[in-house]
């Protein structure tokens, strides 16, 4: 069965520190990859997505992620975090085979706390 | 404003009672989804529907039921058979136009507490 693993469950950073959140998935076929963010009291919203092409994708609010196929990874990065980045971050995957249903497999989530 | 609405925001029920959570979207999306979010477990798919009058079980469908009588609406019933119903429930929708690679859009969620 497909699964998604986020290694960091709770990350605490100071403002201006660099961020990298890990995401690995287990599926041998072609995948579509997503990062979602849930700010306190707000809807889950899309940060960025990868389907094909350049494996380095840029999203909103200065976030980017790199797809490394050989490592089954899609890590999220930001060079300098702000207090407003405090949120929960979810990595999600669907396989091209099931993509016509849009079903997503989510990771466990990472809570990011940025100290001012 | 286009979007997904879920009501109520908070819901309290006694053990053994069925409860229905509302999800409405005005995005003209074809597909709708219900997820359950628990701390440390991410989101898990309960049910999904790609078209009116049709729906499929997700990974944790036991103790839940849904209907899709209208494109805009996808209510979820949490039945008394659900052993651990206290959770945060999220509804999502997705268009299936312009290819299969479109992301899901999420509602604000309903926090259900069973006493």
Residues of chain A contacting residue B33, judged by C-beta atoms under 8 Å apart: 102-103
Structure tokens at B43: 């989101």
Structure tokens at A28: 């041998």
Say yes or no to pLDDT of B98 above 80: no
Say yes or no to pLDDT of B28 above 70: yes
Beta bridge partners of A49: A34
How many C-beta atoms surround the C-beta of residue B24 within 10 A? Answer: 18
- Only one residue has tokens 């992620």, namely A65
- Using DSSP's 3-state secondary structure scheme, residue A85 falls into helix
Strands B54-57 and B76-78: unpaired
Say yes or no to pLDDT of B99 above 60: no
Tens of pLDDT, residues B36-83: 999 888 999 999 999 999 999 999 999 999 999 999 999 999 998 888
Which are the contacts of A20, defined by CB distance < 8 A and separation ≥ 6? A75, A76, A77
CB contact under 8 A, B45 and A46: no
Which one-letter DSSP state was computed for residue B26?
Answer: -
Tell me, what's the pLDDT at A94? 86
The rounded mean pLDDT for chain A is 92
Beta bridge partners of B11: B112
Tell me, what's the pLDDT at A107? 96
Using pLDDT thresholds of 50, 70 and 90, give the confidence band for residue B103: confident
Beta bridge partners of B87: B112
How many C-beta atoms surround the C-beta of residue B1 within 10 A? Answer: 4
Of B96, B100, B104, the CB nearest to A104: B104
**How many angstroms separate the CA atoms of A103 and A78, rounded?**
27
- Order of strands, edge to edge, in the sheet holding B19-25? B4-7, B19-25, B76-78, B64-66
Tens of pLDDT, residues A47-74: 999 988 999 999 999 999 999 999 999 9
Under 8 Å between Cβ of B30 and B42: no
Of B90, B100, B105, the CB nearest to A100: B100
Out of A4-18, A88-102, B12-26, B101-115, least confident range:
A88-102
Say yes or no to pLDDT of A28 above 90: no
Tell me, what's the pLDDT at B2? 67
The average pLDDT across A35-46 equals: 94
């Amino acid at each position: 069965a497909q699964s998604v693993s986020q290694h960091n469950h709770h990350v605490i950073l100071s403002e201006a520190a660099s961020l990298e959140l890990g995401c690995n998935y287990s599926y041998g076929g072609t995948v579509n990859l997503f990062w979602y963010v849930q700010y306190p009291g707000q809807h889950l919203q899309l940060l960025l997505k990868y389907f094909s092409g350049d494996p380095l994708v840029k999203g909103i609010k200065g976030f980017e992620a790199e797809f490394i196929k050989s490592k089954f990874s899609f890590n999220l990065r930001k060079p300098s975090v702000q207090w407003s980045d405090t949120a929960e971050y979810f990595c999600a995957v669907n396989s091209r085979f099931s993509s016509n249903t849009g079903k997503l497999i989510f990771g466990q989530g990472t809570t990011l706390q940025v100290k001012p | 404003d286009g979007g997904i609405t879920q009501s109520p925001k908070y819901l309290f029920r006694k053990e053994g009672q069925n409860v229905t959570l509302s999800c409405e979207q005005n995005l003209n999306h074809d597909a709708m989804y219900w997820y359950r979010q628990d701390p440390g477990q991410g989101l898990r798919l309960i049910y999904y529907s790609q078209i009116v009058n049709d729906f499929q079980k997700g990974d944790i469908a036991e103790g839940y039921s849904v209907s899709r009588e209208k494109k805009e609406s996808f209510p979820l019933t949490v039945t008394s058979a659900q052993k651990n119903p206290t959770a945060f429930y999220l509804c999502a929708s997705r268009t299936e136009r312009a290819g299969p690679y479109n992301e899901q859009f999420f509602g604000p969620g309903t926090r259900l507490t069973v006493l």
